[in-house]
Amino acid sequence: MPEDSAQVLQSLVQMGVQLVAQDGKAAFNSPAGKGAFQYWVDLYQQQLLPQEVLTQGHRRAIELYQAGELALLASGPQFFQTIADNAPDIAKVSAPAPQITGDTGKKR
């Protein structure tokens, strides 16, 4: 997987899931972990999340957004110029928004 494909793991942490226990073993096989993972499964199964965003990383998400095939893009402000240069019509209808958080209120 590309280095920038960590969004699922990052979202698990944002949703309050402990990934690694004190003893160094996996800790995400918990009710919270299963619920958070199910969130991603549901998005995928309902075709609300393109598969390639998970397997090809953030760069692919930017490409899909610029092509008008993705409605939301979780990214930093540095990509506004890239989008403006590559897809001016998409840039015109793009606007920043606060980062989406779970019940924990955590942000990456």
Which of 7, 13, 75 shows the shortest CA–CA distance to 44? 7
Same domain, 41 and 56: no
The tens digit of pLDDT for each residue in 2-26 reads 455 577 777 888 888 999 999 999 8
Residue 37 lies in a domain: yes
Q: Over 50: is that where the pLDDT of 39 sits?
A: yes
Residue 99 lies in a domain: no
88 compared with 1, residue with greater pLDDT: 88
Quickly count: other Cβ atoms within 10 Å of residue 76's Cβ: 8
Same domain, 28 and 72: no
The tens digit of pLDDT for each residue in 53-84 reads 777 777 888 898 999 988 888 788 888 899 99
Which of 27, 26, 20, 7 shows the shortest CA–CA distance to 72? 7
pLDDT at residue 87 in the model: 95
Same domain, 21 and 58: no
CA-angle at 83, arms to 79 and 75, nearest 5° = 35
The tens digit of pLDDT for each residue in 83-99 reads 999 999 999 999 888 87
Residue 101 lies in a domain: no
The parent domain of residue 79 ranges over: 51-94
* pTM summary value: 0.61
pLDDT at residue 66 in the model: 93
Distance between start and end Cα atoms, the chain: 20
